[in-house]
Amino acid sequence: MTALKDPIPADTRASDQKIIISVDAMGGDRGPAAVVAGISRSAKKNDEIGFLLHGPKDTLEKLVAKRKNLAGRCEIRHAADVVTMDDKPSQVMRHGKGTSMWSAIDAVRAGEATVCVSCGNTGALMALSMVRLRKLPGVNRPAIAILWPSRNPQGFNVMLDVGADIRADAQDLLQYAMMGSSYARNGLGLTRPRVGLLNVGTEEHKGRAELKEAHELIAGVADRANIEFVGFVEGGDIPGDKCDVIVTDGFTGNVALKTGEGTASLIGDLLKGAFQFSPLSRLAAVLAFTSMQRLKKRIDPRRVNGGVFLGLNGTVVKSHGSADAMGVSAAVKLAFQLARSGFSDKLAARVASATTLAQDAPKSADTASQNGK
């Protein structure tokens, strides 16, 4: 059980040896070939990474053998079973021991790897992560955080929860604020992140009861937690520059994420259509090619691929199910950054301190119920 309490000893060895990332090779829409191509891409760019790759040994050995740069840097762990996109999380929790997903998470649990990456079924991955890695003390609901292209200088904002749980009470939202800030510090390099609480208006009297209560809780600990709380924000602020971290429940966050992705995708397709409309516009497309590539790179979801599970003893990066080699490589890069910064330990410390801060704070429930009339 020692491994459970301190699952990330690799952090301390970061400077003198490779950082090991545990990768679930199965469960993505494009199969293990895309995953192996992705880690090969990462290996090419970064000498400091090593891999534990989980899945059917025969299949993986063939794929890895084709990538010469993975020689000596990728250990294969045999797991015969695969969690599919249709499997129910509850079934996977009970019967998933032989799956590549289980094996990939357990490598983090055992301290063999610092971060786990999977393209598989999100619900199953969260369920297994909770059971095998367990929640951090003080965290009731873990959350999935993503990076969202924004108008801020750092280019991205953090939003959480985008779908770990469909509900969140005021205490959960407070924890999300702490965990999201910690992610913004380690993932985006912000020393004092600005945190906003997602609502349907910015006036303090608006919104659901739990949001008013969470507003009080976060405001009460903001200074001591070294965050700037900007109060309520709206959907338009998710890609905006009013705050760096957007806190919401997993239902709202998931709808917002998918609405934003869908809108961006529609605009992209309409743009393509516009460029193909006439000979003149097709010529324009040729001239604008590099500029458009730059724009695409800026908002391409594959380049910021990876929802991070926060609130567990260890870090899990959920790559998009349809991720190609570039997408997998982006998720691995994120996993590497978080591993190297010692993110898991820092996050645990933040959460512990926030719990203490909230307990020290004046009883916010009283204030909230006064406002809730």
Residues interacting with its own copies, by CB under 8 A? 88, 149-151, 163, 166-167, 198, 200, 205-208, 234-240, 248, 250-252, 254-267, 269-271, 273-275, 277-278, 280-281, 283-288, 290-292, 294-295, 298-299
Compute and round to an integer the Cα radius of gyration of the chain: 21
Q: CB-wise, 58 or 269, nearer to its own copies?
A: 269
What the block records as the tokens of 116 is 């786990």
Q: CB-wise, 322 or 337, nearer to its own copies?
A: 322
Shortest spacing between CB 234 and its own copies, in angstroms: 5
Q: CB-wise, 61 or 241, nearer to its own copies?
A: 241
- Please state, in angstroms and as integers, the Cα–Cα distance from residue 200 to each residue in 161, 235, 248, 252, following that order: 17, 8, 11, 11
Shortest spacing between CB 273 and its own copies, in angstroms: 8
Shortest spacing between CB 364 and its own copies, in angstroms: 21
Tally of CB atoms within 10 A around 241: 13
Shortest spacing between CB 351 and its own copies, in angstroms: 25
Shortest spacing between CB 284 and its own copies, in angstroms: 4
Q: CB-wise, 213 or 237, nearer to its own copies?
A: 237
Shortest spacing between CB 85 and its own copies, in angstroms: 10
Q: CB-wise, 2 or 291, nearer to its own copies?
A: 291
Return d(Cα 206, Cα 202) in angstroms, integer.
7
Q: CB-wise, 132 or 212, nearer to its own copies?
A: 212
Of 125, 117, 160, nearest in space to 334 by CA: 117
Q: CB-wise, 51 or 148, nearer to its own copies?
A: 148
Residue type, 171: Q
Q: CB-wise, 111 or 240, nearer to its own copies?
A: 240
Q: Cβ contacts of residue 269 below 8 Å, gap of 6+?
A: none
Shortest spacing between CB 89 and its own copies, in angstroms: 11
What the block records as the tokens of 359 is 């307990």
- Please state, in angstroms and as integers, the Cα–Cα distance from residue 33 to each residue in 37, 98, 335, following that order: 6, 20, 20
Contact (Cβ atoms closer than 8 angstroms) between residue 146 and residue 319: no
Q: CB-wise, 225 or 238, nearer to its own copies?
A: 238
Return d(Cα 344, Cα 349) in angstroms, integer.
9
111 φψ region: left (φ > 0), alpha (ψ -120 to 50), beta (else):
left
Shortest spacing between CB 254 and its own copies, in angstroms: 4
What the block records as the tokens of 335 is 């996993």
Outline where DSSP puts E strands in the chain: 19-24, 49-55, 74-78, 115-118, 143-149, 156-160, 194-198, 228-233, 245-247, 307-310, 315-318
Q: CB-wise, 81 or 249, nearer to its own copies?
A: 249
Q: How do 49-55 and 143-149 pair as beta strands?
A: unpaired
Shortest spacing between CB 134 and its own copies, in angstroms: 24
226 φψ region: left (φ > 0), alpha (ψ -120 to 50), beta (else):
left
Shortest spacing between CB 29 and its own copies, in angstroms: 15
Return d(Cα 201, Cα 219) in angstroms, integer.
17
